[in-house]
């Protein structure tokens, strides 16, 4: 079962695609600056505006969290 399927606030396709693109690089690092996350998404074909919207949704819906200007995947 996909761990994101049990979350109360589902993601739209843009944010879901962004999360899929960010999972591997975020798991390999000690967090990621938002600018780097935006660049990762843009390198995968997201426009700057799409990357911003996706990151905002991921943060506001609890899929990512931010500490000291670094983004992390929410456990679980």
* Per-residue confidence (pLDDT) for residue 16, from 0 to 100: 96
- pLDDT recorded at residue 9: 79
Q: Residue 34 has what pLDDT? A: 95
Question: What confidence tens digit (pLDDT) does each residue in 23-34 have?
Answer: 999 887 788 999
- Which pairs with CB-CB distance under 8 Å and at least 24 residues apart come from 61-64? 61/7, 61/9, 61/11, 61/15, 62/7, 62/9, 63/4, 63/7, 63/11, 63/15, 63/19, 64/19, 64/22
Q: Can you give the pLDDT at residue 15?
A: 97
CATH number of the domain located at residue range(s) 12-73 in this protein: 1.10.10
Q: Where are the domains of the chain?
A: 12-73
Tell me: the pLDDT tens digits for 18-71? 999 999 998 877 889 999 999 999 999 999 999 999 999 999 999 999 999 899
């Amino acid at each position: 079962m996909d761990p994101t399927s049990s979350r109360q606030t589902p993601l739209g396709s843009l944010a879901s695609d962004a999360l899929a693109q960010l999972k591997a690089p975020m798991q390999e690092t000690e967090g990621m600056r938002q600018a780097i996350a935006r660049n990762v998404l843009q390198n995968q074909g997201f426009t700057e505006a799409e990357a911003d919207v996706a990151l905002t949704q991921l943060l506001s819906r609890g899929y990512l969290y931010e500490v000291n200007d670094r983004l992390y995947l929410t456990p679980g």
